[in-house]
Amino acid sequence: MADSSALDSFLDKWRTRWPEWSVGETFVAPERRALAVAWFALQQEFEDAMNIAGETLPADAKLAWWGEELHGWAQQRSRHPLGRVLEPVRADWTGLANGLPLLIQAREPAASSADAFAQLLPWGEAMARVESVVLGGQPSPQLFVVQALAQRMIEAHVAAPPQDQSGTETGARQLGWATTLLRAWPAFRLAAPERRLWASYSRARLQRFVQAGGKEVALPSRLRLLIGSWRQVIGG
């Protein structure tokens, strides 16, 4: 019972941060919902460690622990509650573990936008390989990179834009970086339906951020979310 409660707490933490999912999961087969949310919650754990503000040692230790945990999943051993759902999937957990240190490097402002994408691309490739087994589909590695960088800027408020972003004021440079990320967002129609949903929600948040001039805005109505979710899952 305790283990089940711990798993639920991780799944619910992700759902709370992405309330759009409560609408979109209507179009997801019930037997796939827990698997998808567990995988997304794991991704969020990685990104939270990247987006730490202040002292980084605890986050570094957390990523190191996750590296060990993923190596254990490759040998069909797990300690974390998310492993109850994900470890039985025979994915490249070792390759993903080896890519986690790149998240530490990504905390520093990149010299250019191209460098920001390039330094996280091996991690994105590892994520894409695992997701193609966990959820199916053919997700673009760049999708993981751009989404992680977008959420770092919007949610964490700790990311300095790459040094090639023009402007003297932080707000203007962040807006320029957000626009660059929006333009770099890859197509995701070949990804699994669950990824298409989350990617569309994340891109929509970034788009609203840009349209509002660098400010966060409220979510659209449930009806608009419902229609948008239907287009992603049913319409492809």
Q: What is the pLDDT of residue 167?
A: 64
The DSSP secondary-structure symbol of 156 reads I
What tokens appear for 209 in the block? 């951020």
Query: What are the helix and strand counts (H, E) for the chain?
Result: 12, 0
pLDDT digits (tens, 9 = 90+) for 227-236: 988 888 776 5
Q: Where are the domains of the chain?
A: 2-233
Q: Which residue has the tokens 């605890």?
A: 58
pLDDT band at 2 (very low <50, low <70, confident <90, very high): very low
| CA atoms of 89 and 137, how far apart (whole Å) | 15
Q: Which residue has the tokens 């049913």?
A: 234
Above pLDDT 70, what percent of the chain?
94
Q: Taking the model in full, what pTM does it have?
A: 0.93
Confidence of residue 174 (pLDDT cuts 50, 70, 90): confident
Question: Can you give the pLDDT at residue 1?
Answer: 37
Best CATH choice for the domain 2-233 from the list 1.10.600.10, 1.10.150.120, 3.30.310.50, 3.40.120.10: 1.10.600.10
**102-160, pLDDT tens digit by residue?**
999 998 889 899 999 999 999 999 999 999 999 999 999 999 999 999 988 887 666 67
| CA–CA distances in Å: residue 147 to residues 90, 158, 221 | 25, 15, 23
Give per-residue pLDDT as tens, 69-91. 999 999 999 999 999 999 999 99
Q: Are 70 and 94 in contact (CB under 8 A)?
A: yes
Q: What DSSP element (H or E) covers 63?
A: helix 57-74
